Amino acid sequence: MSVKTIKYKFKKKNTIGKKEIQSSIKVLKTGDLSGFMASRNHGFLGGPQVRKFEKKLEKFYNVKYAISVNSWTSGLITIIGSLDVEPGDEIIVTPWTMCATVTAILHWNCIPIFADINYEDYCIDPEIIKKKITNRTKAIIAVDIFGYPAQIDKIRSIIRGKNIKIISDNAQAPYAFYKNKISGTNSDIGGFSFNYHKHINTGEGGAIITNSKQLAQRSRLIRNHGEAAVLNNKKLLNNILGYNFRLGEIEAAIGIEQYKKLKKIISTRQKLCRKLTIGLSKLDGLVLPKESPQRTHNYYIYPITLSEKVLNKFSRSTIIKHLEMDGVQGLIAGYENVHKFPMIEHKIAYGTKGFPWNISKKNSKKSKIICKNAEKLHKKSFLGIEVCLYELSNKDIELIIRAFYKIWKKLGL
């Protein structure tokens, strides 16, 4: 038996420090843990920390409006509602995402239409979107999966002249650049998650960003019960179904501190992952993340595809087993195929009759939803390293590289 390359546990990530603790205590001492009121008075936009946090986000992303929410799932539900959708409207979405991107569509009785990902970036494929557009298409949700920006410009050119909105789910990419813009600021409306697993966190939380006044107004109403619409504007009154998606003051205060650290957290992660790419690039049979100044990666997950050359000799599970035996941590085989979730496959979200798919004849057909690339990557060739879980060091990266070399040599790859 040879000696294990990595004999210790990687350090667990923790972005919460002194500043977050101090600012939380400060809020606690005021006794006002939320400043929200549903009616259109002073409290409609929340307490001082929430408003300060939103101002900070508007400045950071250089957008007109930031709307904090108590999770990004809440944010996605809010965004779909802000678009003024009709039941049965279609929203095109990627199969490779966290399920909330898709369930948010169903919450408004709209139909998710899946467009496959491509092998290049694991994001929704603009060419496939083209084939999915119908006269019921209301929006497209592009997800910056694993932290790599989706190609919003290509999607925009496809929908030119059509009344279709682009939503971006930037939960895994809070500070990624796409052609000189921060991803999320190049769509009609986008946003971020601040849950515990993301680059920065407030425990639970999220934020919507947009430059559209109308979408921002509707989002603020949906976030906060929608009651205020009654008082002010008859036009808005008719179709605002509100929730309580309000962020607390402590979370907002923590968010303000977390944003001061974000650029550093991202650049550190980038340095480490770029080192990993350079190290692994000399090995045969690995497709590694691409990056350029025009399209930067946030590495929520470090993505790898095993080539046919490797897979002809060994299965992914054999390779993972060997890497794990050598001490490599955070390996995942495949990713979520949301179109394969039972609720989606069987086209039934409520009750027993196939709602909301049964709103339209075409969509209620029990035809199989197929996303070939996503399925193949999930089943056979995709391998990820959950770098989001750890505070990795240069040494950790060097040892991960060493473990890959050792296994490649051992297996004769």
Ligand X SMILES: *Cc1c(COP(=O)(O)O)cnc(C)c1O
Q: Which residues contact 32 (CB under 8 A, 6 or more apart)?
A: 47, 249
Q: Which of 103, 137, 172, 363 binds ligand X (CB under 6 A)?
A: 172
* Segment contacting ligand X by CB under 6 A, of 51-59, 97-105, 278-286, 402-410: 97-105
Q: Strand, coil or helix: what is 387?
A: helix
User: Of the candidates 49, 101, 219, 381, which one interacts with ligand X according to CB under 6 A?
Assistant: 101
The distance of closest approach from Cβ of residue 18 to ligand X in the complex, given in angstroms and rounded to an integer, is 25
Q: What residues between 343 and 372 interact with ligand X by CB under 6 A? A: none
Give the 3-state secondary structure of residue 141: strand
Q: Least distance in Å: CB of 262 to ligand X?
A: 16
Q: How far apart are CA 131 and CA 138, in angstroms?
A: 15
| Token digits of residue 116 | 């496959």
- Tokens 């279609």 correspond to 90
Distance CA 166, CA 92 (A): 10
Integer angstrom CA distances of residue 7 from 4, 328, 396, 403: 6, 9, 11, 11
70-89 residues near ligand X, rule: CB under 6 A: 71-73
202 binds ligand X (CB under 6 A): no
User: Segment contacting ligand X (CB under 6 A): 34-42, 66-74, 154-162, 356-364?
Assistant: 66-74
Cβ atoms of residues 57 and 68 within 8 Å = yes
97, 186, 219, 270: which one binds ligand X (CB under 6 A) = 97
**CB of 71 or CB of 224, closer to ligand X:** 71
Q: How far is the CB of 204 from ligand X (least distance, A)?
A: 6
φ, ψ of residue 17 to 5 degrees: the values are: -125, -160
Assess contact for 298 and 178: CB atoms under 8 A: no
Given the structure tokens 């929430």, which residue do they identify?
50
Stretch that binds ligand X, among 111-119, 165-173, 304-312, 373-381 (CB under 6 A): 165-173
Rg (CA), the chain: 22
In this chain, which stretch among 11-19, 92-100, 155-163, 245-253 interacts with ligand X, using CB under 6 A? 92-100
In Å, what is the CA distance from 389 to each residue of 362, 377, 392? 42, 22, 9
* Closest CB to ligand X among residues 65, 148: 148
Q: For residue 68, which phi and psi values (nearest 5 degrees)?
A: -75, 150
Minimum CB distance to ligand X, residue 44 (Å):
23
206 makes contact with ligand X (CB under 6 A): yes
Q: How far is the CB of 349 from ligand X (least distance, A)?
A: 18
> At residue 233, what is the residue type?
N
**Stretch of 5-13, 19-27, 68-76, 151-159 contacting ligand X, by CB under 6 A:** 68-76
Site string for ligand X, 25-64 (x = CB under 6 A): ----------------------------------------
Q: Does 195 bind ligand X (CB under 6 A)?
A: yes
Residue identified by tokens 């139909």 is 111
Q: Does 98 bind ligand X (CB under 6 A)?
A: yes
**Segment interacting with ligand X, rule: CB under 6 A, options 6-14, 65-73, 257-265, 396-404:** 65-73
Q: List the interface residues with ligand X, window 174-193 (CB under 6 A).
A: 193
Cβ neighbors of 21 (< 8 A, separation 6 or more) are none
At position 148, the amino acid (one-letter code) is Y
CB of 143 to ligand X, least distance (A): 5
**Amino acid, single-letter form, for residue 403:** A
Residue 413's nearest CA partner among 324, 303, 327, 306 is 306
- Contact residues: ligand X, CB under 6 A: 71-73, 97-98, 100-101, 143, 169, 171-172, 193, 195, 206
